[in-house]
Amino acid sequence: MTENPQQQTSSTGTAAIAGGPLRQAVVIGGNRTPFARSHGAYASASNKDLLTAALNGLVPRFGLQGERIGEVAAGAVIKHSRDFNLTRESVLGTVLDHSTPAHEVQIACATGMEAIGGLANKIRLGQLDSAIGGGVDSISDAPLVFNDAARSVLMDLNRARTVQDRIKAVLRFRPGHLAPEAPGTEEPRTGLSMGEHQARTTHRWGITRQAQDELALASHHHMAAAYDRGFFDDLVTPFGTLTRDNNLRADSTLEKLASLKPAFGRDLGDEATMTAGNSTPLTDGASAVLLGSEDWAAARGLPVLADFVDFETAAVDFVDGQEGLLMAPAYAVARLLRRQGLTLQDFDYYEIHEAFAGTVLATLKAWEDEEFCRERLGLDAPLGPIDRARLNVNGSSLAAGHPFAATGGRITATLAKMLHEKGPGSLGLVSVCAAGGQGIVAILRGR
């Protein structure tokens, strides 16, 4: 089966490039593993195990056994060097046709959104008829490496050509060289973790502890209710011992959340407000989203949940502290709305990644702030408030957890289903912040 060839041979034997109007890229469905707090239920599962599981849950749901998909794109933020071809190896572990090409993408926590958005653009251009985008991360399977001093000794030992040189290299080895180094969680330019960066942003925007705890509580309660009514039945495939995300706390209360001590921004003293309860934990999991052209879906009798309308990437200069590390989506949304001729109030649903409760609340406050919108976004007036009843209505990352590269797929599949249930023409806005001062936002439209 040939996937939408790019070129047609002319009568002269030269290649003629096919052209035509842009097509609509559609979201057909999605699948993910339950998300698990790291070093727990998935302690022995690798990135490849998890991504393969997410794909293997997606394939039979849509009758894709033996099908050659146009392209699969996914990624992991933290992975071993052995996983240099992670997505392709995961595809080879499925019952998809093994001639399905696959490649890696990575833009920190927005990896899944970049994979999905890039594939949607290829479908719009006619380069692909079908695609799967997603991501995976297993903190439990994080690579542990030798430190620089140990690596120097080992390299010298490898280069040694005489017995004397080998002995000299071995004598440099110290017990401390055996201590492995885990992947760092600090921003290289500042030395601060994402949580410490957000603590400063949260404080700067005057976000209260109660507001953060209330957002976290709503996330848990909304997601628990969605599971109970069966909303996730066709979006989540059991893996290992889990059928639900094990970070989910249906019995959480404001009193329990209020009892937690600050985990970030302790240098702020009594004004520190960010706790383990209103921040996402380190998490393992994977997600995958099936995309296609309308014709491809129709030919196979597959449902179409939503159109993938558009997406935008932004980055901010956070190094000097003048802008928050996780504020890039605030800028990206303004650009995307301008391009699409929409207002912030035009959406039926808002899916804003809850890296921290403070991230969501600071972003919302920025959109309402006249000075921020004028000076930073170049707007004549604030973007304004949103209807909070439309925000993360089935819970989000504070409840599910956040396997970095998998969050974009979780959000896209969830929103597409919500919009399909809402009805044709309904609109949804996705916002995902990422390390490095970056972020991706997207618009979906219900079918």
Q: What percent of the chain has pLDDT over 70?
A: 96
Question: What pLDDT does 366 receive?
Answer: 99
Question: What pLDDT does 168 receive?
Answer: 84
Backbone angles phi, psi at 416, to 5 degrees: -60, -40
* Interval 329-338 mean pLDDT: 99
- Residue-averaged pLDDT of the chain: 94
Q: At residue 428, does pLDDT exceed 80?
A: yes
Q: How confident is the model at residue 2 (pLDDT cuts 50, 70, 90)?
A: very low
The rounded distance, in Å, linking the Cα atoms of 440 and 112 is 10
Assigned token pair, 265? 């921004």
Q: How confident is the model at residue 12 (pLDDT cuts 50, 70, 90)?
A: very low
Question: What pLDDT does 155 receive?
Answer: 86
373 is catalytic: no
Q: How confident is the model at residue 398 (pLDDT cuts 50, 70, 90)?
A: very high
Question: What pLDDT does 147 receive?
Answer: 78
Instruction: Say which residues have a Cβ less than 8 Å from residue 158's Cβ, sequence separation at least 6.
Output: none
Q: Which CATH class is domain 194-232+249-282+310-446?
A: alpha beta
The rounded distance, in Å, linking the Cα atoms of 160 and 181 is 25
Residues 20-68 have pLDDT tens digits of 789 999 999 999 999 999 999 999 999 999 999 999 999 999 999 999 9
- Strand 130-137 and strand 427-434: the pairing is unpaired
CATH architecture group of domain 23-142+286-299: 3-Layer(aba) Sandwich (3.40)
Helix spans in 73-188 (H): 86-92, 111-125, 148-159, 163-171
109 is catalytic: yes
- Strand 262-264 and strand 130-137: the pairing is unpaired
Q: At residue 243, does pLDDT exceed 60?
A: yes
Question: What pLDDT does 19 receive?
Answer: 61
Q: At residue 11, does pLDDT exceed 90?
A: no
Do the beta carbons of residue 133 and residue 119 sit within 8 Å?
A: yes
* Interval 330-358 mean pLDDT: 99
Question: What pLDDT does 157 receive?
Answer: 78
Place of tokens 């439309």: 390
Q: How confident is the model at residue 156 (pLDDT cuts 50, 70, 90)?
A: confident
Enumerate helices (H) and strands (E) in the chain, giving the number of each.
Answer: 14, 14
Domain ranges of the chain: 23-142+286-299, 148-178, 194-232+249-282+310-446
Backbone angles phi, psi at 127, to 5 degrees: -75, -25
Q: How confident is the model at residue 148 (pLDDT cuts 50, 70, 90)?
A: confident
Question: What pLDDT does 7 receive?
Answer: 36
Q: At residue 440, does pLDDT exceed 60?
A: yes
80 is catalytic: no
Q: Do domains 23-142+286-299 and 194-232+249-282+310-446 have the same CATH topology?
A: yes
Q: How confident is the model at residue 10 (pLDDT cuts 50, 70, 90)?
A: very low
Question: What pLDDT does 165 receive?
Answer: 82
Of the candidates 220, 353, 420, 433, the residue annotated as catalytic is 433
* Interval 391-409 mean pLDDT: 99
Q: At residue 14, does pLDDT exceed 50?
A: no
Of the candidates 197, 221, 402, 420, the residue annotated as catalytic is 402
Q: How far is CA 430 from CA 110, 159, 348, 350, in A?
A: 11, 51, 12, 6
Is residue 118 classed exposed, middle or buried when 0-12, 13-18 and 19+ CB atoms within 10 A define those classes? middle
Output the pTM of the full model: 0.91
The rounded distance, in Å, linking the Cα atoms of 141 and 39 is 8
* Interval 279-295 mean pLDDT: 98
Instruction: Say which residues have a Cβ less than 8 Å from residue 188's Cβ, sequence separation at least 6.
Output: none
Question: What pLDDT does 18 receive?
Answer: 53
Residues 188-231 have pLDDT tens digits of 999 999 999 999 999 999 999 999 999 999 999 999 999 999 99
Of the candidates 109, 197, 221, 353, the residue annotated as catalytic is 109
Q: Give which of 128, 123, 112 is closest to 51, Cα–Cα.
A: 112
Q: At residue 291, does pLDDT exceed 90?
A: yes
